[in-house]
Amino acid sequence: MNITERFLNYVKFDTQSAEDSQTVPSTPKQLIFAKYLKEELESEGFADVEMDEMGYIYATLKSNTKKKVPTIGFISHYDTSPDCSGENVKPRIIKGYDGTDIELSPGIVSTTKKFPELLKHVGEDLIVTDGTTLLGADDKSGIAEIVQAMCFLRDHKEIEHGDIRMGFNPDEEIGMGAHHFNVEKFGCQWAYTIDGGDLGELEFENFNAASAKIFIKGVSVHPGYAKDKMINANRLAAEFATMLPLNETPEETEGYEGFYHCIGMQSNTENARLSYIIRDHDRDRFEERKRFIGKCVYEMNQKYGEGTVVAEVKDQYYNMKEKIDPQMHVVDIVLKAMQECGVPPHVTPIRGGTDGAQLSFKGLPCPNIFAGGVNFHGPHEFISIQVMEKAMQTIIKICELTAAYND
């Protein structure tokens, strides 16, 4: 099986996670894919293949050297984003992309004007959607690349390597992927998430992240008799939203700039709920953002009465940079691997999160490496087959260089 066939098999499964679920994994359909993947790893002959009751999968490619080599790992998640349907994905391969606009379905077009990233892949073979679902390259491409790389190393015993661990998990897209990842069982000195974007991306710093749920309690009164009595939760929700800086939203920021992002709103006259995510690379500024949410709540309650507005703020993950900086050899190996594979490195801060952030704070240094997908979480998502192959080659080279690390 080649890497393209493996990836196309994976995207047949709907593995969308769900933000408000209380179960692990957050959706039962994720377990259907997890069982399939476990059986595939067993059929490929890997060792120590196991899946726990929450759908976390672990496996090993055993060492083929007598050298003392660090045990390293590669990790990807199999859930897809709640932002766009992942059901009944219909992928299509465009061979030798010619640099023109791509009609996904009648009336649904990926234009090079809106998606200039396409032009970086002229001449390559692209996998696209039919414009009605996401593709699932985030992060089933990462899984395909890891498994394919391990199969290559299994079949090419001339390449020395130590024990290499694989880990695959649910619920990364809702910020829960690393919560139940068993770092002790994984048993690695360091690892890499294969969950980045286009060719050469290497990330070892990311947003500090929190969620904020704002609950507003209104008072419903017949509008004809509402004078000095009604508290309209709909209106208060809109008022709260305007208290946050309008230029500190995702659509107005880039690079190291943080933001507040309203991801949901439910309201009627009596009750309203706003859901936000809070992001910033700088830890002090991150803490200031959380305090600002509290300040807005306080001002609303001063105006409309104590208890009218309540905030529930929860930290999700932190910037992994503070954990990677003392162990920069884990990054140096990747940079050398990319160089030897002819991949121009593009070191960039993640404007988002990755399981590697949480894992780094659980004692497993875990930078993030490109998987190849572009325009994640929507129907214009695509991936280059050639970039997938480069990701696979980079993984192989990392394993080879790690075997030489203690020479």
Contact predicate 169/24, CB 8 Å:
no
Distance in angstroms (rounded) separating the CA atoms of residues 115 and 100: 11
CA atoms within 13 A on the CB side of 165: 25
Separate counts of helices (H) and strands (E) for the chain: 10, 18
- Catalytic option among 40, 125, 139, 172: 172
- Nearest-CA neighbor of 74 among 135, 139, 2? 139
Report helix, strand or coil for 348.
coil
Distance in angstroms (rounded) separating the CA atoms of residues 64 and 403: 10
Token pair of 51 as six digits? 């899946």
Distance in angstroms (rounded) separating the CA atoms of residues 197 and 29: 25
Contacts of residue 243, Cβ cutoff 8 Å, sequence gap at least 6: 296, 299, 300
Contact predicate 188/72, CB 8 Å:
yes
Contacts of residue 92, Cβ cutoff 8 Å, sequence gap at least 6: 127, 128, 129, 130
Distance in angstroms (rounded) separating the CA atoms of residues 145 and 2: 10
| Residue 79 annotated as catalytic | yes
Token pair of 6 as six digits? 């493996």
Distance in angstroms (rounded) separating the CA atoms of residues 139 and 275: 25
Q: How many other CB atoms are there within 10 angstroms of residue 18's CB atom?
A: 17
Q: How many other CB atoms are there within 10 angstroms of residue 49's CB atom?
A: 19
Q: Dump the DSSP string for 280-322.
A: ESSHHHHHHHHHHHHHHHHHHHHHH-TTSEEEEEEEEE--THH
| Residue 198 annotated as catalytic | no
Token pair of 403 as six digits? 């075997």
58-97 burial, b at 16+ Cβ within 10 Å, e below that, comes to bbbbebbeeeebbbbbbbbbbbbbbebebeebebeeeeeb
- Catalytic option among 40, 79, 145, 195: 79
Residues designated as active site: 79, 172
